[in-house]
Amino acid sequence: MNPLVLTAGTVVSAIGNGLSEQGAALKARRSGLSPCDFFGITTGYVGRVPGVEDHVLTRGSGEFVCRNNALADMACQQDGFDHAVQEAVAFYGADRVAVVVGTSTSGILSAENAYQEVDPQTGFPPPTFHQAGTQDLFSLPRFLAERLGTKGPLLTVSNACASSSRAFVDARHWLEAGVCDAVIVGGADSLCRMTLRGFASLGLVSDGPTRPCDAVRAGISIGEGAGFVLLEREGARPEAPVLARLTGYGVSSDGYHMSSPDPAARGAVIAMQDALKLAHLAPGQIDYINLHGTGTLVNDAMEDQAVSAVFGKNVPCSSTKGWTGHTLGASGIIEAMISIGLMQSGLIPGCLNVTQLDPVFQSAVLTENENRPVRRVMSNAFGFGGTNCSLIFEAA
């Protein structure tokens, strides 16, 4: 494929606002997980973004007020992202800048709160509840477009935990087709009762902080966050700085089970192989793999099987969800931004909270940080329903 360039990027998660804070937490091996105290729910640990409850939207109309859009607004204020988008708008025109973002639950917390305030006589929620601007999956791109002043096409991708990774693929199609000249790509997902209680009902929430790849791992810690990049054709705007290049991707849908991964890892293998093929790379040319690595028994085992089938024991890999928690539809963009930070710093983070690496694992899982040059990173995202996406980023 023709490489695309990431000319700006931003991120907000439980380990900090912006690339600098995120990098410092990774280097110090400082997790953002804490015991859950969300609306009376005390199951497990969560990756909660500090200050989101008190955040006031800097732009956008009142109909967009919700936790998910607050996270998106916080992200837009980091790493000069606002300014970078305005420069792209000035260069291309507002109608040539699109928004393609992923989310799995959008602003559903607002609907949960509204349901608790339903009028018992009429059955209607309070008049302050704006479903289209909060819970609706299309709320996020509409908010971003209004906030950032873009007028190009909008798209929401809701592919479970692969949502914001898959957004890169759809954005690439739009750029290749000439639908737009620049795309705001990324996503946001926020803590809500449905995901906290839903994953707990499936028996997938760990009592303590999640321990991806550990021999006695016991489940996930749910997190929240947001992140965005500005994706453009290489060389189209010569004065724009380049953070990294998107050189390959692979997607598949194995459809094995609604919530369990294919134990044979066929879809995950296809996604990684296709990403390598599109990037014209051999497996040994990848310097680091950011695992989806949720911390559940079956997911981590499946991914280890897939990674070892494609890469053997030759490429270091780890999961960073011990820092951020599993941010669901936002995990792809948050881990893409982690990948960009690693290429800039030359740091590879080993999995957090691992006492003993699962002895049956065959891939090169790291449990301690290592300093080494990182030029190419593969970032994996595998979601419910058998949706798989692997992205390859290359240093500028």
Among 190, 218, 194, 292, which residue's Cα sits nearest to residue 44?
Answer: 218
Contact 392, 249 (CB under 8 A): yes
Selected catalytic residue, list 161, 213, 317, 389: 161
Backbone angles phi, psi at 252, to 5 degrees: -155, 165
Tell me which DSSP letter residue 351 carries: P
Got the DSSP string for 59-109?
SS-GGG-SHHHHHHHHHHTSTTHHHHHHHHHHHH-GGGEEEEEE-SSTTHH
- Compute CA distances 168 → 9, 81, 102, 139, whole Å: 13, 17, 9, 19
Among 156, 173, 167, which residue's Cα sits nearest to residue 233?
Answer: 173
> Does the annotation mark 326 as catalytic?
yes
> Does the annotation mark 292 as catalytic?
yes
Instruction: Work out the number of other CB atoms within 10 angstroms of the CB of residue 201.
Output: 10
DSSP reduced 3-state for 20: helix
CA distance 31 to 33: 6
Backbone angles phi, psi at 182, to 5 degrees: -150, 150
CA distance 110 to 228: 23
Selected catalytic residue, list 66, 130, 213, 326: 326
Got the DSSP string for 121-174?
TT-PPPTT--TTTTTSTTHHHHHHHHHHT--S-EEEE--GGGHHHHHHHHHHHH
Backbone angles phi, psi at 183, to 5 degrees: -135, 130
Got the DSSP string for 226-291?
EEEEEEEETTSSTTS--SEEEEEEEEEE----SSS--TT-HHHHHHHHHHHHHHT--GGG--EEE-
CA distance 340 to 275: 17
Among 270, 277, 299, which residue's Cα sits nearest to residue 388?
Answer: 270
CA distance 294 to 23: 20
Token pair listed for 232: 């453009």
> Does the annotation mark 83 as catalytic?
no
Selected catalytic residue, list 36, 130, 213, 292: 292
Residues labelled catalytic: 161, 292, 326
